């Protein structure tokens, strides 16, 4: 009645939706009521399905509307302002509050920064106007490449052909990046049960294993959580989880493997690229602590914790690499 809507099907089952607590609420806070009843007839699907996300042409057409340029945003804003100013009722409403919309936007002088120089292991190049050097990273040696000497791949039997192609492609792409990638040990699982995978991980991981790669048949949260529990808590070792369909298409396998190789190198402590940094470490620390964190000069900060007005704690920290060999 409030919205003057007539329900066409009075016998339809209602959808239960769990309410999310507002931001800033303490952990464990429960809403009252905790669940809301929604009428399916008045609901609609939102978001994108995995099938839609996998369609390149659809995502490209969608990006044309979501990733607009600054000039397009300015044009849309000016059009909105003109519509408001040309509407007597809208102008009258603004006048009640003593407001009016200027027809022109404010112009300010901006600073044009020079292009950054990207430093690789065997080459230096400019980032370019688009600031995209992803192809160059995959074609040149990394700043610090970590060799894959002892690593393993876990998969179910039906994914064996895809795993073969993945390993072969990874070894080829790793060579271009300066990574020495040896043949991994393989564990073919007899079934898709989580218990089987967990047991194989426990039996295979030791102090000499650098990395484990798990190829999952489907995208299941409980399976992923079980893998990370073993590899992060029980037997700490870097891990890379891959969904089988991600490496299923031969025409996209190379680009996928390149991204995975970069992730693996970072997880093993390697460095992909670097940029020239004019500040020394001491200068950087001094400016960071004085300007960003408000800490007096000469003070060493590991972490800070300040209690906010709602009782929760706010923490700030800084992670700084002291390796200056590449800049």
Q: Which tens digit of pLDDT belongs to each residue from 273-283?
A: 988 877 666 66
Q: Which tens digit of pLDDT belongs to each residue from 214-241?
A: 999 999 999 999 999 999 999 999 999 9
Contact 271, 144 (CB under 8 A): yes
Q: Which tens digit of pLDDT belongs to each residue from 39-63?
A: 999 888 888 887 888 888 888 888 8
- For residue 301, name the pLDDT band (cuts at 50, 70, 90): very low
Mean pLDDT over the full length of the chain: 85
Residue that is written with structure tokens 């209690």 in the block:
307
**Which DSSP category does 148 fall into?**
B
Q: How far apart are CA 249 and CA 246, in angstroms?
A: 7
Domain 134-270: give its CATH superfamily.
Answer: Response regulator (3.40.50.2300)
Q: How far apart are CA 158 and CA 309, in angstroms?
A: 55
More confident: 21 or 179:
179
Q: How far apart are CA 201 and CA 231, in angstroms?
A: 8
Q: Which tens digit of pLDDT belongs to each residue from 243-252?
A: 999 999 999 9
* pLDDT at site 293: 47
More confident: 261 or 289:
261
Contact 184, 153 (CB under 8 A): yes
């Amino acid at each position: 009645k409030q919205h003057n809507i007539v329900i066409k099907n009075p016998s339809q089952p209602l959808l239960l939706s769990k309410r999310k607590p507002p931001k800033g609420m303490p952990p464990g806070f429960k809403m009252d009521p905790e669940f809301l009843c929604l009428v399916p007839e008045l609901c609609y699907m939102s978001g994108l399905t995995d099938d839609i996300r996998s369609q390149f042409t659809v995502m490209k057409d969608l990006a044309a509307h979501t990733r607009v340029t600054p000039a397009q945003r300015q044009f849309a804003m000016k059009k909105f302002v003109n519509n408001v100013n040309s509407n007597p009722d809208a102008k009258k409403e603004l006048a009640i509050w003593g407001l009016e919309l200027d027809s022109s936007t404010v112009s300010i002088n901006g600073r044009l920064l020079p292009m950054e120089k990207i430093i690789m292991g065997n080459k230096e190049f400019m980032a370019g106007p688009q600031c995209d050097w992803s192809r160059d990273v995959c074609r040149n040696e990394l700043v610090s490449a970590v060799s894959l000497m002892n690593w393993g791949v876990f998969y179910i039997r039906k994914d064996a052909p895809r795993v073969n192609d993945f390993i072969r492609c990874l070894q080829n792409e790793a060579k271009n990046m300066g990574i020495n990638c040896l043949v991994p040990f393989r564990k073919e699982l007899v079934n898709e049960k989580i218990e089987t995978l967990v047991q194989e991980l426990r039996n295979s991981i030791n102090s000499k294993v650098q990395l484990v790669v798990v190829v999952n048949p489907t995208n299941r949260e409980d399976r992923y959580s079980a893998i990370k529990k073993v590899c992060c808590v029980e037997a700490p070792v870097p891990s890379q989880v891959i969904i089988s369909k991600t490496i299923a298409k031969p025409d996209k396998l190379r680009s996928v493997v390149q991204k995975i190789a970069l992730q693996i190198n970072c997880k093993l402590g390697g460095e992909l690229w670097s940029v020239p940094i004019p500040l020394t470490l001491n200068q950087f620390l001094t400016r960071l602590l004085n300007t960003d964190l408000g800490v007096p000069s000469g003070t060493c900060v590991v972490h800070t914790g300040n209690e906010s007005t709602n009782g929760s704690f706010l923490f700030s920290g800084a992670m700084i690499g002291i390796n200056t060999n590449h800049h």
